[in-house]
Structure 1
Amino acid sequence: AVLSRCPTARAVLIERSTEMAGFAAATLSHPGNAHLGDRASVLTADVTLTGRARAEAGLANNSFDFVIMNPPFNAAQDRSTPDALRRQAHVAEDGLFESWIRSAAAVAKPRGGLAVIARPEQLVAILDAIEGRFGDAELLCVHPRPDAAAIRIVVRAVLGARGKLSIRPPLALHGPSGNAPTERTEMINNGLASLFGD
């Protein structure tokens, strides 16, 4: 969606699992994604690596303008699939937000951006992890419908900034009744509008 909306942007998709990285590469090569051209690539790497190991894996310091993170965010005590690959993709390890956001702070350029999606109950862990690294944070809550509690949160922040947290207008994925996505949701999904409206 970002590449569709921003025609000069380039993206590196990072995935720890070789199998899942293969699926991502296949998706990029699908004819329906031909408009992305050569502006997207897939890197198989573990974002929890640190220091030299992280750089050797292809995640050099100060190399990205913006880092978007979709980490596993199911709690370990929640019922999870017996499939090991799916469990790895869905279940959050202890300290996940600290290690992922530490890496984001390392690989982002000065004043670079961060956006991370998670469950509402993980907000404190995210705010703790960005403390002293990222500031000017904005919180956007994602609701299935306007009258339902949020099921996801997105936190966006700027490396090295010191501004306080602000709360943006929420996103309702569907209208009050029915399962059809709202017009705003459709525009975001199709790269025609920004999640944060800018």
Structure 2
Amino acid sequence: MTGPAATETVDAFHRGLFHVVQPKGRGHRSGMDAMLLAALVADDRPIMVADLGAGAGAAGLAVASRLPAADVTLFERSAEMAAYARRSTLLPENAHIAGRVSVIEADVTLKAKARNDAGLIDESFHHVIMNPPFNDAGDRKTPDALKAEAHAMTEDLFESWLRTAGAIMIPGGQLSLIARPESIAEIIDACGRRFGGVEVTAIHPRQGENAVRILVTAIKGSRARLSFRAPLIMHEEGTHKFSPFVDDLNNGRAAYSRR
């Protein structure tokens, strides 16, 4: 599966604690974004977690790997990527978490009865995580159709995805997402009256460099104010080495708890 003619790879995450089957040379391949997203779930209780637009399942599997009391449902619209996620759960290396992870092929932008019929059941989850497509329409388009489907942003993307998150989450549940910094206005607008207590953390490659991602969490039904947290700096000065805390987040040794 990893030879020169391979069409897929089996990639280790959390220093080999779990593995993910992913397409090779096409489609969206998960990496650090997925691991940072998973780190936003800091909850040792028995919890139900929904990963919207899960792709091959890296973020949801990372949550299940780090939190032994978490049951995770991976929701993915693409039949091909959902198949990769199912195969990931069947890997022998993932036997210790497979019983707590399920995959549902569904469009997360569905509404009302259609959404419930697809398995996105109202008020069922304590946590909803998402790494939504965030490439702007003006960005250079990839010729890879599978990757384009995972990366292309629609005009009402955050509104439609957060509408579903709010519907399937229990009152007081936590929304967690990773996005580009330029999406912050759309995200806050989409939170509307659904979510409050929005916390935003900018991720910078190095000191003095512009942010490349934001981590956002919010609580369903909260009326707490928006807050911006201290930034996360990924790399130590003058090197490509990750800072100790970011390395811990990336490898499942720590969670990024809300304040």
With structure 1 as the length reference, what TM-score do the two structures score? 0.94
How many residue pairs align between the two structures? Answer: 198
Q: Report what 1:134 is aligned to.
A: 195
1:102-131 alpha-carbon deviations (Å, 9 max, x no partner): 010000011111011110010000000001
Structure 1 unaligned segments of length 5 or more: list them.
Answer: none
Q: Report what 2:152 is aligned to.
A: 91
**Percent identity among equivalent residues?**
47
Q: Which amino acid aligns with 2:149?
A: Q
Q: Which amino acid aligns with 1:52?
A: K
Q: Which amino acid aligns with 1:29?
A: L
Work out whether 1:40 is the aligned partner of 2:101.
Answer: yes
Q: Report what 2:231 is aligned to.
A: 170
Tell me the distance in 2 between the aligned counterparts of 1:111 and 1:97.
20
Q: Report what 1:75 is aligned to.
A: 136
With structure 2 as the length reference, what TM-score do the two structures score? 0.73
Go from structure 1 to structure 2 and tell me whether the alpha carbon gap of 1:178 and 1:168 turns closer, same or farther (over 3 Å shift). same
Q: Report what 2:80 is aligned to.
A: 19
Where 1:136 maps in the other structure, the secondary structure is: strand
Q: How does 1:98-109 map to 2 (within 5 A)?
A: 98-109=159-170
Q: Report what 1:112 is aligned to.
A: 173
Q: How does 1:178-189 map to 2 (within 5 A)?
A: 178-189=239-250
1:197 is displaced (CA, Å) by 6.4
1:135-188 alpha-carbon deviations (Å, 9 max, x no partner): 011001111223311101111000000000111222222212222222212211
Kept in 1, the 8 Å contact 2:90–2:98? The answer is: no
Q: Which amino acid aligns with 1:174?
A: H
- The correspondence for 2:111, drawn from 26, 35, 50, is 50
1:31 is displaced (CA, Å) by 3.2
1:2 is displaced (CA, Å) by 2.1
Runs (4 or more) in structure 1 with deviation over 4 Å come to none
Tell me the distance in 2 between the aligned counterparts of 1:35 and 1:147.
42
Kept in 2, the 8 Å contact 1:144–1:173? The answer is: yes
Tell me the distance in 1 between the aligned counterparts of 2:121 and 2:127.
14
